[in-house]
Amino acid sequence: MINKFKSITNSKFSWIIVALIAIPFVFWGMGDVFTKGNTNNVAKINNITISVTDFINHINESGLNENIIRENLDKNIFEDLLSVLISQKLMEMEINNLSLNFSDKTLKDRIINNQNFFDNNNNFSRTKYEKFLLENNFSAREFENRLKSNELQKVLFNYINGGLVIPKFLVKKKYVNENKNINLNFVNLEDNYNKDFSSQEINEYIKSNEDKLKKDFINFSYVKITPKSLLDTEEFNDEFFSIIDDIDNRVLNNENIESITKQYDLELIFVNDYYPFDKEFELIYSKKNNINQVNLIDNNNHYVLFNIDKIENKLPNINSDKFREEIKLSLKNQFKFKNNKKLLENIQNKKLTYEDFKELNNNKVEEILINSVNDNNKFSIEAVKLIYSLPEKSFVLINDPMNNIYLAYINKIRIEDKITDDQFKNYLLKSNSEIRDTLYTSYDIFLSKKYEIKVFQNTIERLKNNFR
């Protein structure tokens, strides 16, 4: 959990949680949703509960608005936010258990020595301090409590790593290993996967995978709303947005789509059996779980009012060109997997020769010099890291950023063991950071065993439903 907390800035929601400054929102209409049993708690650590109210306050403090929450429900945004909150609670418990302390005097020194609060004479300015609090909507007590909490977390992390520093010879070894030059021979295997599949092969695949190939088709009605369709003007004026607000209120009051469109003389369009083989109604399709629920969506240069009234899971028309192209792609991926699996087995069993390697692409062997483990000009960074973990004369399957597959041969490794003072300093910092990350991971495992953590998923799901 600590690692989760420390790495949140690198997660898929970090751009939201850290970078986005949005107007905090309040969860409305939830007063009687969570009232019985464990439904008023989202998690429990030993005997300490995390209530729905605690979680809501945590979300509000994150600065996330309602729309961002709704758009990322299926990307585990609730779970990520809860993980951060649990991490914070665990750290608080550990700080208390270890009797770690950060005195009020030290806290005061941190504040009055903060250059952000200095005046032109380099003295602490209470005015600048209070202006900072006002601009960030903090009371002095709130800010000081947060600062104290952050400093105590630093104390905890220092306690965990214990001032451990990697030996100098290991730093140099790491530098040499990551900056050696590798002469790599490679062949592009993509041409090997270009196979024409017969109609019989396609039909047999469909027959064998009929249930897996079924898709959700929807019936819906919609209208595109623009200033032109609404007011016979090209201008997005106040009158237009006033009507949009009225339509939005009608949607919130569960008014049906026919009534709304009739009020503003808008003509509904009906679409049946739609699946996004094309992208035209992809946005509407993304809301397919909101069946029989009128929606209004801002789609850049227009609004879309729509209602999905039917969803049916069935097999597409097997003669559809787009569907058959999809099947061809599946067959190609299947064929690719089979061939790559065989290559891997030959590599592992040391049955692949250099002559076999050349013949894979009609002797079209290419060559490249890779200068360091961070050299991703040709191949993906993950592929380069894999190459650098292998010895000379090794075969390996790798990919480029476009996910094209290559078979590579490590022909020659040249080692340069010279290292400058600046390079050493950089690698020392990098190595120490990696050691700390390893320690934090170990500490995570320790905490997961030390504390019993329960997450009440039913409560999380009920909370999510208020945004759907």
3-class SS string, 127-173: HHHHHHHHHCCCCHHHHHHHHHHHHHHHHHHHHHHCCCCCCHHHHHH
Torsion sign over Cα 357, 362, 368, 372: negative
Q: Which residue has the higher pLDDT, 324 or 29?
A: 324
Most confident among 37-46, 70-79, 187-196, 246-255 (mean pLDDT): 246-255
Report the pLDDT value the prediction gives residue 164, as an integer from 0 to 100: 63
pLDDT at 360: 86
Q: How many CB atoms lie within 10 A of CB 243?
A: 17
pTM of the model: 0.52
**Predicted pLDDT at 468:** 65
Question: Is residue 166 within 8 Å of residue 380, measured between CB atoms?
Answer: no
pLDDT the model gives residue 162: 63
* pLDDT confidence band for 222 (50 / 70 / 90): very high
Average pLDDT (333-337) is 90
pLDDT per residue as tens digits for the range 154-212: 777 777 666 666 777 777 878 888 888 999 999 999 888 888 899 999 999 999 999 99
pLDDT at 459 > cutoff 80: yes
- The pLDDT mean for the chain works out to 83
Residue whose structure tokens are 């934090």: 440
pLDDT at residue 465 is higher than 60:
yes
Q: Does the pLDDT value for residue 406 go beyond 90?
A: yes
CA distance 259 to 420: 75
Q: What share of the chain in percent tops pLDDT 90?
A: 41
How do residues 126-152 score in pLDDT, each as one tens digit? 888 888 888 887 788 888 888 888 888
pLDDT 10s digits, 32-67:
443 444 558 889 998 889 988 888 888 887 777 777
pLDDT at 408: 95
Helices (H), 280-420: 282-285, 321-348, 354-359, 381-387
Cα–Cα distance for residue pair 278/289, rounded to 1 Å = 19
The pLDDT value given to residue 76:
82
